[in-house]
Structure 1
Amino acid sequence: MGNFPGHATPGSIFLFFAIWWTIRYSVMWASRMGGRKTSSAVCWKNAPLLCRFLSRVPMEGLCKILFPLTGLLGEQMAAHWTLIDPVTGQFHMLGNWQHTTMYLFFALSGFFDVLIALKAPVPSGIDHLSMSLAYAVEGVLFFYHLHGRADLDVRLHKLLLLAVAPCVTVSSLEAWRPNTLLLPMVRAAFTLVQGTWFWQVGWILYPPFPGHEWDLESHENMMFVSTAFCWHILGILLFMCVVYTVVYHIYQAKEKQRGTELELGPLSSHMLQAHSDSELD
């Protein structure tokens, strides 16, 4: 992960799932506001075959396995699957092995998601607890990832931990409160923060364009990144508000259309019957 793609990859994975969760839970929240209970599966009305297929295949769990394994392969291809250098006898690219460990635990969380979706005989809430464990492992690895690094590098990773910690707590609470929507929305928000901040860290430490290097010992830069982290949170809150507003209005429009169809149903039948009677006369 000691390059820009190495930070952009986990950032993109976090963003993918967090955006999906934001849309998914916004739909469920809008449904509850309308007095309905909606399952977590989102289907298109005009695609029944696709709906039946998606309802039987644990897509989220499979993606949580596939995407981390892709990142894992990237890390290990760089490390050549070597933990101890056979020539020097020293550890080889331990940073990559730390990131591999992080990916493994998120893939494990996806595995439990698949088991839950397939109704395997596993303890209830194990999917949420495994997700909390994955976030916790991520936090531990990054907390002990800072020795000997520049001040700005340390500050960037400490700010990342501020986004990881709420995810650990909230995911654990979800195991005991699985029906609440506030907790998963908080998880989605701080996962979004992780995703955008991974990109920010990669952009600062490993600028993709030459000539834009940051001074890693500058006090002003450390002050700026703390401010930028708050801007990330603000931007994500605004993004989630926009998503929920759009989803809510779409849901209300569909409910209004559905209500109109229900009201016109008996009237249409009456008009059809009257038309048939007039033809008989």
Structure 2
Amino acid sequence: MANFKGHALPGSFFLLFGLWWSVKFPLKYACRKNKKVFYLGSKAGFQRVEVIEGIVKAVFALIGMLAEQFVPDGPHLKLYNYKAQEWDHLMNWQHSTMYLFYGISGVVDILTHATNVVPVAFDRLMLSIAVFVEGFLFYFHVHGRAMLDIHVHILLLTSIFGGALCLFLEVFYRGNIILELLRTSLCILQGSWFWQIGFVLYPPGGDPEWDQKDHNNMMFITMCYCWHYAFAWLLLAVNYTVVVWLVRIKMKEAKPAEMGLLKTSEWEQESEDEI
């Protein structure tokens, strides 16, 4: 991760999940409000979506671990260098550990929604733990570095621990649209900020490096962080509006007969909270 691509990779992962959540959660909310107009709004439909999401999360985590371990200058699964009598590429190992917990979260998602073995709330708990572990690792990641380097990572920790707290609350308040949207906004922020860190610390294309000790750079980057969060909420608001609008159009277009066919025994047994 000690280069631009290494920050762009996790940044892309978090952005993709944030963008997906910015569509999924408004869709679930709109389906509850509009009496589940189409099949995707059913409990079974969303369970399939959760299983797919878990598979994607596990695959992304595996890609991240392989990338950290088997890049040309990576540790290649070697933790200790006995010749040099020192730990081998601990930064790569830390990143691999971060991806490992997200991979476990993906597996738990699959087990939670594809079987009856795991309690329903356990998927949120495991994702909360994965996000917390990410923040815990990054907190001890930048000791002894330049001032600006430490500052951009501390800002990143704000979104990480905020997301972990939201997910932990979702264990007890599952389906709360406010918590889900807040979590989504912090995920988008985290993804875009990973990209920003790459541009600050490892400018691509031969651009001049930032002065790591300039206080003005710290002031600007703090303001830039707020801009990133404003952009995350703007993106979330646009997706929310579009999804709710499309669901309402779908509801108006649905004929009474079609809606009657959709109202199977599954609908009758299922409450809004179960979705």
Matched with 1:183 is 179
Q: CA deviation at 1:212?
A: 2.8
Opposite residue 134 of structure 1, the aligned amino acid is: A
Q: CA deviation at 1:23?
A: 0.3
Q: CA deviation at 1:41?
A: 4.7
Opposite residue 12 of structure 1, the aligned amino acid is: S
2:22 equivalent to 1:3? no
Q: CA deviation at 1:38?
A: 7.6
Q: CA deviation at 1:9?
A: 0.6
Q: State whether residues 18 and 189 of structure 1, in contact with CA within 8 Å, keep that contact through their aligned partners in structure 2.
A: yes
Matched with 1:58 is 51
2:71 equivalent to 1:75? no
Matched with 1:16 is 16
Q: How does 1:251-270 map to 2 (within 5 A)?
A: 251-258=247-254, 261-262=255-256
Matched with 1:132 is 128
Matched with 2:265 is none
User: Structure 1, residues 82-138: CA drift from partner, whole Å, max 9, x if none?
Assistant: 211131110111111110000000100011001011224123311111101001100
Cα RMSD for the two superposed structures: 2.4
Opposite residue 64 of structure 2, the aligned amino acid is: G
Distance 2:39 2:22 in 1: 12
Distance 2:40 2:89 in 1: 41
> Match for 1:218 among 214, 219, 224?
214
TM-score normalised per structure 1: 0.84
Q: State whether residues 4 and 207 of structure 1, in contact with CA within 8 Å, keep that contact through their aligned partners in structure 2.
A: yes
Distance 2:92 2:163 in 1: 23
Which stretch shows the higher mean deviation, 248-257 or 101-110?
248-257
Opposite residue 10 of structure 1, the aligned amino acid is: P
Distance 1:147 1:69 in 2: 28
Greater RCO (Cα-Cα under 8 Å, separation 6 or more):
2
The verdict on how the C-alpha distance between 1:250 and 1:76 changes in structure 2, with shifts beyond 3 A counting, is same
Opposite residue 245 of structure 2, the aligned amino acid is: H
Distance 1:39 1:27 in 2: 11
Distance 1:174 1:109 in 2: 15
Q: State whether residues 32 and 38 of structure 1, in contact with CA within 8 Å, keep that contact through their aligned partners in structure 2.
A: no
> Match for 2:146 among 144, 150, 169?
150
Matched with 1:276 is none
TM-score normalised per structure 2: 0.86
User: Structure 1, residues 184-204: CA drift from partner, whole Å, max 9, x if none?
Assistant: 221111011100000000111
The verdict on how the C-alpha distance between 1:40 and 1:115 changes in structure 2, with shifts beyond 3 A counting, is farther
The verdict on how the C-alpha distance between 1:116 and 1:186 changes in structure 2, with shifts beyond 3 A counting, is same
The verdict on how the C-alpha distance between 1:114 and 1:41 changes in structure 2, with shifts beyond 3 A counting, is farther
Runs in 1 of length 4+ with deviation above 6 angstroms? none
Matched with 2:30 is 30
Distance 1:90 1:208 in 2: 31
What percent identity do the matched residue pairs reach?
A: 39
Q: CA deviation at 1:245?
A: 0.9
Q: State whether residues 22 and 185 of structure 1, in contact with CA within 8 Å, keep that contact through their aligned partners in structure 2.
A: yes
SS of the residue aligned with 1:80? coil
Which stretch shows the higher mean deviation, 248-257 or 17-26?
248-257
Opposite residue 237 of structure 1, the aligned amino acid is: W
Matched with 2:263 is none
Q: How does 1:91-130 map to 2 (within 5 A)?
A: 91-130=87-126
**Quick check: which has more Rg, 1 or 2?**
1
Which stretch shows the higher mean deviation, 22-31 or 89-98?
22-31
The verdict on how the C-alpha distance between 1:100 and 1:238 changes in structure 2, with shifts beyond 3 A counting, is same
Opposite residue 157 of structure 1, the aligned amino acid is: H
Q: State whether residues 174 and 183 of structure 1, in contact with CA within 8 Å, keep that contact through their aligned partners in structure 2.
A: yes
Query: Which blocks of at least 5 consecutive residues in structure 2 are unaligned?
Result: 260-275
Q: CA deviation at 1:183?
A: 1.4
Q: CA deviation at 1:211?
A: 2.8
